[in-house]
Structure 1
């Protein structure tokens, strides 16, 4: 396929917001579609905090997927920021993918229909179909058919079994507007390297610590020095309490070393370069409680 960015009559491009409940598997789905590990993945809910654009080229189209935090109730200030990110993505997109794990009842979908007040067109992606039997899958599809006047298509997929990728991409392209491509077709994401490295460190915190600590921490990339074949990265993990700092550091620095090792491996796999990573831990009491402190870490309210 020749990449002719200027051919408006033959190309399509558009923004596709990927939404669903927390821990539905949005980031896993996007990494599968793009064929690279870009979006943060965690077994813990509400790990994704900000939107991230992931670009997939398919046939004559450029699909700009927008990964979003999970749809959930407004609780803490940070949760409100995350919900704001979802609404922005829905308001700015050409198409929505609603991710619905096959085991889920339709409550989350009904809630999404209420939130989609602008009636943006959407496709239901029935995911994790390998986790249910054929009878239960057919039953769930039948339940969604009751809403078939609401969605454009229903596409069953399984990331684990690599089922449904082409069908899903074909359906998306069918509903994108005619347009020249908006970005260089070699680009996989519009997110800068600083944000990607930050998310890889955050993912390593989620992987290595339990309970509330991952939710009450964040990461600030202090400095990146990009050299041929090597990136030197300095980053600070921000915690709410001194007790959390002690847990993050661990006995003899064991935990922070483990987090750093895991993050470095992720960063090297992504960049194809050697990574020299220096991690520090600081305490910023109540960092997630005020708009000012959240803004300092990169979460800007509108």
Structure 2
């Protein structure tokens, strides 16, 4: 039996969350084409009873912090550095390799690392070979694997490589569980994902989601959540003309939540204005950014 912690690092939009979801076979991390979608460290478990338990951690994309919220996100990255058995260093093969290399070097890893060249589908073979040559010679690279997380290409090969680095041991978590995060966390994330999906660049980065009520009844689950914004103008955009946009958020999020928890859901959403919440210590804690 093998068991260990595999922590995923990379620049924003390298495909960390897509890879986590593909490896575990469940939607554990929300995905968006916008950068900095992941704000927390999300643990997800891949179990094969009697053979292995891999505890994956998806971490926020590595950025230069501009708000206390960003500082919390980078704290999650630092925390992940401390308990890993193996680091997966994700590179979008079309990205600037030098900047990826600078980030990986700055991590000062003390554990083995596998460089994962992602988004290789539709890329010129010469470019992939050049990337392979570039990263293979770096001191932190113990192994290199080429994949397409979105298309689920070569994930079996990646898992085989991961398992060679994991120590023998008993599972850290119940083999029935998929994560150590509560269901309410995933519900809030699914609502937040729809905001990223439906709105332009500015709005998603100014919003947080707080679950105030999660009541399981016989026939359905009643959920009440607040969408937090920084300004009244943002509140008006989220609500939309005659409530059109908030209805769309609710419909799309409810469908995902029902699929996730396997029950009918009654979802009620409100929008609250909290100026400068991203720099407010007390409000960050209240919204789960500890």
Which residues in structure 2 correspond to 1:130-145 (within 5 Å)?
130-145=121-136
Q: Which of the residues 221, 224, 249 maps onto 1:231?
A: 221
* Deviations 1:48-93, CA, capped at 9 Å, x for gaps: 1011111112581100001110011121221111111111111121
Deviation at 1:110, TM superposition (A): 2.0
**Which residue is equivalent to 1:180?**
170
Supply the distance in 1 between the matched residues of 2:247 and 2:277 (Cα, whole angstroms). 24
Are 1:171 and 2:161 counterparts?
yes
Aligned position for 2:77 = 86
Q: Structure 1 residues 118, 125: closer, same or farther in 2, change over 3 A? A: closer
Q: What per-residue deviation string (whole Å, max 9, x for no partner) do you get for residues 173-196 of structure 1? A: 111111101112122111110100
SS in structure 2 opposite 1:202?
A: helix
Q: 2:194 aligns with which of 183, 191, 204?
A: 204
The answer to whether the 8 A contact 1:123-1:155 is kept is yes
Q: Give, in whole Å, the separation in 2 of the partners of 1:53 and 1:143.
A: 30
**Equivalent-residue separation in structure 1 for 2:23 and 2:109 (angstroms):** 27
Question: 2:255: which partner in 1?
Answer: 265
Kindly tell me the number of residue pairs found equivalent between the two proteins: 289
Counterpart CA distance in 1 for 2:275 and 2:231 is 6
Partner of 2:17: 27
Does 2:139 align with 1:154? Answer: no
Most deviating of 36-45 and 59-68: 59-68
What are the superposed Cα offsets for residues 182-219 of structure 1, whole Å, 9 maximum, x if unpaired? 11212211111010000000001111111211100100
* Distance in structure 1 (CA, Å) of the matches to 2:157 and 2:141: 16
1:184-195 pair list within 5 angstroms: 184-195=174-185
1:133 Cα deviation from its structure 2 partner: 1.4
C-alpha distance in 2, partners of 1:200/1:63?
24
Q: CA deviation at 1:229?
A: 4.9
Post-superposition Cα deviations, 1:123-176, rounded to whole Å, max 9, x if no partner, equal 1111111031112111211111221x4222101011233211111111111111
> Deviations 1:97-143 (Å, cap 9, x if unpaired)?
11111112322332233332242221111111103111211121111
TM-score by length of 2: 0.96
In structure 1, the residue corresponding to 2:89 is in which secondary structure? strand
Q: Which residue of 2 aligns with 1:100?
A: 91
Match in the other structure for 2:30:
40
Q: Distance in 2 between matches of 1:235 and 1:68?
A: 24
Q: Is the 2:136–2:143 Cα contact (8 Å) retained in structure 1? A: no
The answer on 1:295 being equivalent to 2:289 is: no
Which of 267, 271, 285 is 1:281 aligned to?
271
Q: How far off is 1:287 after superposition? A: 0.8
Contact 1:39 1:52 in 2 (8 A): yes
Do 1:103 and 1:131's aligned partners in 2 also have CA atoms closer than 8 Å? Answer: no
1:114 matched to 2:90? The reply is no
Q: Segments of 4+ in structure 1 off by > 3 A?
A: none
Q: Which runs of 5+ in 1 are unaligned?
A: 1-10
Q: How far, CA to CA, are the matches of 2:154 and 2:280 in structure 1?
A: 43
Residue 52 in 1 paired to residue 11 in 2? no
The 8 Å contact of residues 237 and 281 in structure 1, kept in 2 or not, is answered as yes
Q: Whole-Å Cα distance in 1 between the matches of residues 150 and 237 of structure 2?
A: 34
